A = this chain, B = another copy of it.
Amino acid sequence: MKFRRSERLVDMTHYLLQKPRILVPLSFFADRYNSAKSSISEDLTIIKETFEKRGIGTLQTVPGAAGGVKFISRAGRAEADEAISELCTLMENPDRLLPGGYLYMTDLIGNPQLISKVGKLLAAAFSDREIDTIMTVATKGIPIALAAAMYLNVPVVIVRNDSKVTEGPTVSINYVSGSQKRIQTMVLSKRSLREGAKVLIVDDFMKAGGTINGMINLLKEFNASVAGIGVLVESEDTKERLVDDYVSLVKLKDVDVRSQQIKVVEGNYFSKVSTFLEEDAK
């Protein structure tokens, strides 16, 4: 049975979106739709142009017998602007204020549409780097790490603060939480990360960077290296930052408990990330 172009476009769009960074041979699509490779090529040109124009991403074509096409998720500048403003507005809601000046963020972390956008932006920030794995720390980093992993198509490893019988042998290190100067422990299952892996570290919140610094030290125990660091929120309220090279979506500038005001601004995202898709003016 032959498929019309319109059906092919819908199905190929879905297929490619589901499999970012996986090389799909043209012959796979040709067989799937019982169509000529030349028709498939034309389809892919349409999809590539539309993906780029609409801020979805791009298609990379690898020529030759072992070649094919690969979907790379990227973000448009307008989309990134919009998502980051949305995050700022959501976070400035004074209802988030908790005793001690902490902010309630659990609802944001549990919002799949929002976290998917966060994951897309973080993935786009590191889309040109070679990344084998995303590492995060339980609990609130997990949704962000998974969302980014869906766009980069790499596994997530989860650092915990305790050992579990279901983790097998573990590597554990002590670290100093930067803001509270308290010694804490972090644990990673030994088999979850291979030697030499290039690791993107992701977390929900960074103040002095003690937790992220701990993850960097943990990577050394695996002879693994840091491919990048991305956080949803960085806090400005810190004397010394333990981590320098990171990407943040938003920055918590000030929490005034007395007047119940929270000030949240754009993070360093746009100064660190410069490759956006060229979108049409809408």
Interface residues of A (CB under 8 A from B): 1, 5-7, 9-11, 13-14, 17-19, 32, 46-47, 49-51, 53-54, 56, 98-100, 102-107, 109-113, 115-116, 138-140, 142-143, 146-147, 149-150, 153-158, 160, 165-168, 189, 191-192, 280, 282
Contacts and interface: CB of A to CB of B under 8 A. Distances in A.
B112 A153 contact: yes
11 contacts: A10-B10, A10-B13, A10-B47, A10-B50, A14-B56, A104-B168, A104-B191, A106-B167, A110-B149, A112-B154, A115-B146
A50 B139 contact: no
A158 B110 contact: yes
A15 B282 CA distance: 15
Contacts of A154: 112
A113 B153 contact: yes
Residue from A10, A98, A168 whose CB has the most chain B CB atoms within 10 Å: A10
Contacts of A46: 6-7, 10
Contact of A167 (B11, B104, B158, B282): B104
Top-5 shortest CB links A-B: A110-B156, A10-B50, A112-B149, A13-B13, A112-B150
A166 B5 contact: no
Contacts of A165: 98-100, 102
B116 A11 contact: no
Nearest to A155: B110
Contacts of A11: 50, 54, 56
Stoichiometry, copies per complex: 2
Contacts of A54: 11, 14
Contact of A112 (B146, B189, B192): B146
Contacts of A150: 112, 116
Nearest to A1: B280
Contacts of A160: 139
Contact of A105 (B7, B103, B156, B166): B166
Nearest to A148: B112
Contact of A158 (B104, B106, B113, B191): B106
A80 to B, nearest CB: 15
Contact of A189 (B6, B19, B106): B106
A20 to B, nearest CB: 9
A73 B142 CA distance: 24
A222 B54 CA distance: 42
A155 B13 contact: no
Contacts of A53: 7
Contact of A139 (B1, B47, B102, B138): B138
A111 B192 CA distance: 11
A85 B37 CA distance: 32
